[in-house]
Amino acid sequence: MGKYFFCFFVLSCFRVSVSAQESTGSFSEAMKLEMCAKVKEAAQHAWKGYKNYAWGSDDLRPLTKTSRNWYKHSLLMTPVDAFDTFIMLGLKDEAREVKELILSRLDFNIDDEVQVFEITIRQLGGLITAYELDGDKKFLSLATDLANRLMPAFKTATGMPYRFVHLQTGRLRDSINNPAEIGTLMMEFGKLSKLTGNKVYYETAKKAIMQVYARRSGIGLVGEQVDVTNGKWVSTQSHISGYIDSYYEYLYKSWILFGDKDFADAFDVHNKAIKKYLVDKTNKGWFMRHVDMNSGKETATLYGALDAFYAGLCAYAGDIPAAKNIQDANYYMWTNFNMEPEEFNYKTDSVTSAYYILRPENLESCFYLYRYSHKTDYLWMAKRMVDDILAHCKTEAGFASIKNIRTYEQANSMESFFFGETLKYAYLVFAAPSSVDLNRIVFTTEAHPFKIETTLP
Ligand code: DMJ
């Protein structure tokens, strides 16, 4: 491996037993070490399952011990998402195996269409970080080849991309896109401009995300779906959940990554509107309601696993009081139903989607809150979440999603973000702060760390 810009601390693997008496209060260094060791072990177990039953495929199916590909050919989703996590966890053998697999097999010249957003955050982001961490130029060539194949998606009257593009022909499909899938390309395409010296990626992605911003309502919110051919909103539902979530995240993080003030200004406008119209202050914490983007009128009181990222984003952006209150709601969501449901109605306390697909957002928010508040409450919260995942999702071959959090019935899937994000944040929340320097890197939405730039592309 080449030069790493992280300063990793070496964890001794000795086991110390964690006493079960407390659930708040002090959290000893020995307990942090024990949690780190548990997460490392989980990562090794999951990788062993992938190696044994899904080698070369996109994902492991952990119950049937088989594999799954997203498209006609594997794009190595799991290995690409996992590479930097193995490096950050100090799992050198696993990182070496992944590198060999990626460089010997990954090829984007496939006769199939892909989802621009998913491939960007998992593959393009993973390869860019692999290059920044490892220094092998082959990672950068793969990333550039992929980005060039995705670029036709942006050829629309508005500059906002289609959702799907064919990797060989550039054929486009699905013009009804959403803010998250349009905006969550900025960090990856922008970073590629810095690395290659070709500004076109930055400019194209910036045009797309700013086109969403330009379509905000009079009260500063965006809708859920937009037609990229004419720029008209197809759904005016507004919230911070799926379809919108990481659009807001990328406005703030692109400001940190590139220092381009347009992003900071846009985030500021949205953040104020979110706090004014979406936040619902309850005695369980601050949830985020759904409203109409034009009137701000409440349309639903649904909240879910994806919404949980906003606490972390608030902490990252310096608003600890808001972050704390939102995280209280997140923790309520995790503990009130056995485990976190995909979605529930916080007014009636009823679950509307009972699955848990190993999502990271709740743990991610614990990571940022602990980093910026130093309050051990967030270590205890993270411990509860990690322990639940280890107790209920572990299978002989890896880790499984949960089909129904009320019964803990498992489902046959292990998403690549379990490696890319969930295990990474689960580890980093307990690891020494020096293990990752948030003044030097910024995490993408898929938790791939990018070096912060000092000049614009
Ligand atoms: C990840 O792929 C990304 O974090 C995305 O922005 C939202 N959903 C998943 C994880 O839940």
Residue spans per domain, the chain: 12-451
List phi, psi (to 5°) of 18.
-90, 125
Which residue's CA is the nearest one to ligand 1's atom 6?
445
What's the DSSP call for residue 434?
G
Mutate to test the pocket of ligand 1, among 123, 445, 448 (most ligand atoms within 8 A of CB): 445
Q: Are 108 and 158 in contact (CB under 8 A)?
A: no
Bridging pattern class, strands 59-61 and 350-353: unpaired
CATH number, domain 12-451: 1.50.10.10
How many Cβ atoms from other residues are within 10 Å of residue 19's Cβ?
Answer: 8
Which residue's CA is the nearest one to ligand 1's atom 8?
306
How many H-runs (helices) and E-runs (strands) does the chain carry?
A: 17, 20
Residue 160 Cα to ligand 1 midpoint, Å, equals 20
What amino acid occupies position 390? L
Ligand 1 interacting residues, C-beta cut-off 6 A: 121, 246, 359-361, 417, 421, 445-446
Residue 121 Cα to ligand 1 midpoint, Å, equals 9
Which residue's CA is the nearest one to ligand 1's atom 11?
359
Closest atom of ligand 1 to 118 CA is: 2
Return the beta strands (E) in 285-342 as ranges.
285-288, 290-292, 298-300, 302-304
> Which helix or strand (DSSP H or E) is residue 188 part of?
helix 186-196
Q: Are 238 and 293 in contact (CB under 8 A)?
A: yes
Taking alpha carbons only, the member of 163, 197, 204 closest to residue 180 is: 163
Quick one: how far is CA 416 from the chain centroid? 11
pLDDT tens for the chain, residues 1 to 457: 444 444 332 333 322 233 333 456 899 999 999 999 999 999 999 999 999 999 999 999 999 999 999 999 999 999 999 999 999 999 999 999 999 999 999 999 999 999 999 999 999 999 999 999 999 999 999 999 999 999 999 999 999 999 999 999 999 999 999 999 999 999 999 999 999 999 999 999 999 999 999 999 999 999 999 999 999 999 999 999 999 999 999 999 999 999 999 999 999 999 999 999 999 999 999 999 999 999 999 999 999 999 999 999 999 999 999 999 999 999 999 999 999 999 999 999 999 999 999 999 999 999 999 999 999 999 999 999 999 999 999 999 999 999 999 999 999 999 999 999 999 999 999 999 999 999 999 999 999 999 999 898 9
3-state secondary structure of 402: strand
